[in-house]
Amino acid sequence: MLDMITPELIINLLLILAGAWVCGSIAQRLGFPVMLGELIAGLLLGPPLLGLVAPSPGIELLAELGIFFAMFYAGMEMDPKELLEHFWPSLGVALGGFVVPFVLGYGVTRIFGGTIYQSLFVGMGISITAIAVQAVILQNMRINRTELGHIIIGAAILDDILSLISLSVLVGLAKSGKIDFLNLMFIVLKVLLFFGFTFLAGHYVFPRFTRRLTDEGAKSFTFALITALVLAYLAEKAGLHLIIGAFLAGQFVRKEIMREDVYRAISDRFYGLSYGFLTPIFFATLAFHLHWHLDFHFLAYTLVLTLAAIVGKFVGSGLGLHAFGYRFWECLVVASGMNGRGAVELVVATVVVKLSEDLLAHGRITEPLLTETQFSALVIMAFVTTLLAPVTLKITATRACLAEEKPCFCHLWEEARQRPFR
């Protein structure tokens, strides 16, 4: 429990923010997103290397709030109509980007001696795309309002739904040895009800309030927070991550349905709190989970699994978009954007480990559903892919815009890059 703001917490925050600011500034000077520097700051200051900052409940709470605020702001910056218009390409990207890594992860783990259940859970772990990480990367690189940016975010949301369904199926198999179709249908129904409620509220209920909203006493910010918390709670009840609720709440706050000054006030406050304070803490703390040891089997497995995760996302997501007639480099841009993981698969892996301990204690299984080696490999894979995502996205986006006949994405990207990043 976080009882008070202690001197230790203040020192940890000071080190994280100062380190993130310095490393982020260096990354920005080199032409990379700030979050790349923030990741490196966490690696340097945290337990993996110097150990100057240790995980604590206070730090973890601020990190979670950081990605919550960032997702709301990302929702504000993206057009919901664009997301719906690109639903089918997003679905193709999500399916390809989920199935191919799943198969590769399963195969790699089986080759390295994993059981069938272990291989299935690892395969699912490397198939997940972290929507929170993608939203921040796209925002940093000004790609969020482009056509490809909307496809990436839409695919990441659908990927999260696929992960939820897959986790339910695998947990049912591990518990009883069979698929609980009734429970599966219930999960799908909850997800459909959540999105149905969100759509109706966003288009017919929410605008009635926002048209009368003023910023007196910062009440508009409070109203936006209430909306975000309500949808985050409903997303959790539907089995999705709370950040999807925060993102969809941000979609409700649009210039078209409220006064310009009120919209700007809400935007500025969410932007300042997230990108100026809390989001650097989130990215820095991603490195705190890293654990490795100098064992050939572990290093070899981790290396091959990470390669399978990267190649699987590139091939699966790229082919999924190519099926809809997009060009080669545009497919690579989207595949690069889908390749970042982050915290979601770590949460899933933790759930699997706890389930495994419970089933072992009751004698339901004789082998763990996820070994310590496999868990550590998933953590390292998540960090490496998160680190590589902004680098590969910058390379592929730049390369996609070198051709004489530039796609619409390039014109929107160049236009956005010329505007100062708020």
| Cα distance between residue 307 and residue 2, in whole Å | 39
Burial pattern 302-314, b for ≥16 Cβ within 10 A else e, equals bebbbebbbebbb
Neighbours of 255 (CB within 10 A): 12
Residue with tokens 């390379």: 395
Greatest C-alpha distance within the chain: 65
The whole-number pLDDT of residue 403 equals 61
Tokens of 37: 């520097």
The whole-number pLDDT of residue 204 equals 78
The whole-number pLDDT of residue 312 equals 95
| Cα distance between residue 335 and residue 393, in whole Å | 8
| Cα distance between residue 367 and residue 369, in whole Å | 6
Residue with tokens 């945290």: 46
- Please give the helix or strand (H or E) that residue 328 lies within, else none: helix 328-338
Is the CA virtual torsion 305, 310, 287, 134 positive or negative? negative
| Cα distance between residue 245 and residue 132, in whole Å | 12
Contact predicate 241/344, CB 8 Å:
yes
Of 342, 319, 341, nearest to 331 (Cα)?
Answer: 319
Compute the chain's Rg from CA coordinates: 21
The whole-number pLDDT of residue 41 equals 92
The whole-number pLDDT of residue 21 equals 93
Distances (CA, A) of 357 to 46, 224, 282, 349: 28, 40, 28, 12
342 φ/ψ angles, rounded to the nearest 5 degrees:
140, -120
Contact predicate 300/373, CB 8 Å:
no
To 5 degrees, how large is the angle CA 193–CA 98–CA 74? 60
- Please give the helix or strand (H or E) that residue 112 lies within, else none: none
Angle between helices 131-140 and 328-338 (to 10 degrees): 120
Residues of the chain falling short of pLDDT 70: 1-4, 176-180, 254-257, 342-347, 403-408, 411-413, 415-422
What is the set of domains in the chain, with CATH numbers? 7-418 (1.20.1530.20)
The model carries a pTM of: 0.79
Is the CA virtual torsion 265, 266, 267, 273 positive or negative? positive
> Under DSSP, is residue 354 helix (H, G, I), strand (E, B) or coil?
helix
| Cα distance between residue 283 and residue 42, in whole Å | 7
* CB neighbour list of residue 113: distance below 8 Å, 6 or more residues apart: none
Q: How many residues does the chain have?
A: 422
Tokens of 408: 């619409």
| Cα distance between residue 157 and residue 388, in whole Å | 21
The whole-number pLDDT of residue 2 equals 47
Residue with tokens 């191919």: 100
Tokens of 370: 């996820």
The whole-number pLDDT of residue 417 equals 63
| Cα distance between residue 308 and residue 299, in whole Å | 14
